[in-house]
Amino acid sequence: MKILNSILKIKLHWQILIAFILAILFGIFLREHVIYVSWMGDIFLRLLRMIVIPLILSSIISGMVNIGGVSNLGRLGLKTFGYYLTTSTFAIIIGLLLVNLIRPGVGMDITSVSIDESISIERPSISEVFIDIVPENIFHALANNDFLSVIFFAILAGIFINKMDKKNNLFISDFFNAIFELFMKITMFVIKLAPFGIFGLIVEVVAEQEDFGNMVSGLGMFMLTVILGILIHSLITLPLITRFIGKAKPFWHLSNVRTTLVTAFSTASSAAALPLNLKETHENSGVSNKITNFTIPIGTTINMDGTAIYISAVVMFIAQAQGAVMGIQEQVLILITALLSSIGTAGVPMASLVIITIILEVLGLPLELMALILPVDRILDMFRTTTNVWGDSCCAVVIGKSEGEELNV
């Protein structure tokens, strides 16, 4: 009890670090006892998921109402989408360049991959992805976690609340501001549980990696390519953009949002990390709520830099393993399809697999070869999700600075 008390007095980031180290040790040495602790991770994840949809709806609407005026909205919207499009394009180019240089798929043994039904992912076409953005029923979209549809509705509501007469405008703005405040208060409570939740989640992941040695020897080069791409983008490209376009201090900001990033890493879900990202980017780095509430929830769904690197690497890896030649034309096609299809993908674990099937289909490559990368998907998901979330947070800083805000970074 004494130990627990003194642990609880330590600062949150140290608690998380201790939880992380203990989780790795527990996962390795006490693998068979994992079920006694993994429930903590499940509850943490459920708590985060519980607040995500109301938070997306209320944060976007309250952000847009506070931004005010269609011209302000238009300017911010253009900057945000411009940022997301540019950084995602950079990410895909980094992925393609590395996979062309390292060539991890060349010589890969694909004979063991049987053409079975193991890959039964629903494959929407790109046009379906876009049509589905418009919800047929907003309550259905809310209840089914249709992130993009909820965002679409929230943006529409935000625009038209700004056009309502004063009395009703005030009423509905106050209402969504209050809902937002409520969910941020719940977020603060959930954050306190992060060390326990992260402990439970990491223990489970570590314990699942029974064949780690084998996995690394077979797919080591592929993993290296993806992780290298993610590190280059996260520690060079995004910081450079934050430094030179945002005129902010990227590594201070990185340290300010560390709990968010660790949560993204352990949950492998940008959506689950959204509440923390909103809180830390606002409270620690000082970006105003009206900017964070607009840029971060939208980025959670449409901006996925880590995912972009991953999907371009996977598609090229599969092509190399199959001996298919991917010229410039095919690679430009990968870039465009990856950009478009990643827009409609929710920030949940393994979401990339859906995008990959779309691109493989467009390129006429065999879907069953995706089985090659499945053993390492979860681990790489943790890395790519962290980059996805980091990209959204940097966007808020860059846009905040460009709007003349005084930040702490």
Binding stretches for ligand ASP (CB under 6 A): 268-270, 304, 307, 310, 347-352, 381, 384-385, 388
Place of tokens 């660790």: 262
Closer CB to ligand ASP, 266 or 385, in the complex: 385
Quote the least distance from Cβ 349 to ligand ASP, whole Å. Answer: 5
In whole angstroms, what is the distance from residue 386 CA to residue 223 CA? 16
Quote the least distance from Cβ 261 to ligand ASP, whole Å. Answer: 12
61 by Cβ neighbours in 10 Å (0-12 / 13-18 / 19+) ranks as buried
Which residues are within 8 A (CB) of 65 and not within 5 positions of it... i.e. 6 or more apart? 158, 161, 162, 169, 172, 173, 176, 177
Closer CB to ligand ASP, 8 or 374, in the complex: 374
Quote the least distance from Cβ 6 to ligand ASP, whole Å. Answer: 35
Closer CB to ligand ASP, 31 or 49, in the complex: 49
Quote the least distance from Cβ 267 to ligand ASP, whole Å. Answer: 8
Closer CB to ligand ASP, 194 or 373, in the complex: 373
In whole angstroms, what is the distance from residue 408 CA to residue 251 CA? 12
Quote the least distance from Cβ 277 to ligand ASP, whole Å. Answer: 11
In whole angstroms, what is the distance from residue 233 CA to residue 236 CA? 6
Closer CB to ligand ASP, 273 or 398, in the complex: 273
Instruction: Count Cβ atoms below 10 Å from residue 41 Cβ, excluding itself.
Output: 23
Closer CB to ligand ASP, 65 or 380, in the complex: 380
Quote the least distance from Cβ 54 to ligand ASP, whole Å. Answer: 19
Q: Tell me the C-alpha to C-alpha distance, in Å, between residue 327 and each of 102, 284, 322, 402.
A: 16, 45, 14, 39
Closer CB to ligand ASP, 66 or 357, in the complex: 357
- N-term to C-term CA, the chain: 39
Quote the least distance from Cβ 298 to ligand ASP, whole Å. Answer: 14
The type of residue at 165 is D
Query: Nearest-5° angle of CA 161, CA 163, CA 168?
Result: 55
Assign 28 to helix, strand or coil: helix
Burial 336-371 (b: 16+ CB within 10 A, else e): ebbbbbbbbbbbbbebbbbbbbbbbebbebebbbbb
In whole angstroms, what is the distance from residue 274 CA to residue 386 CA? 11
Quote the least distance from Cβ 171 to ligand ASP, whole Å. Answer: 35
As given in the structure block, the two tokens for residue 51 are 């607040």
Q: What sign has the CA pseudo-torsion 203, 260, 46, 384?
A: negative
Closer CB to ligand ASP, 154 or 338, in the complex: 338
In whole angstroms, what is the distance from residue 392 CA to residue 371 CA? 30
Closer CB to ligand ASP, 110 or 133, in the complex: 133
Closer CB to ligand ASP, 64 or 356, in the complex: 356
Closer CB to ligand ASP, 184 or 264, in the complex: 264
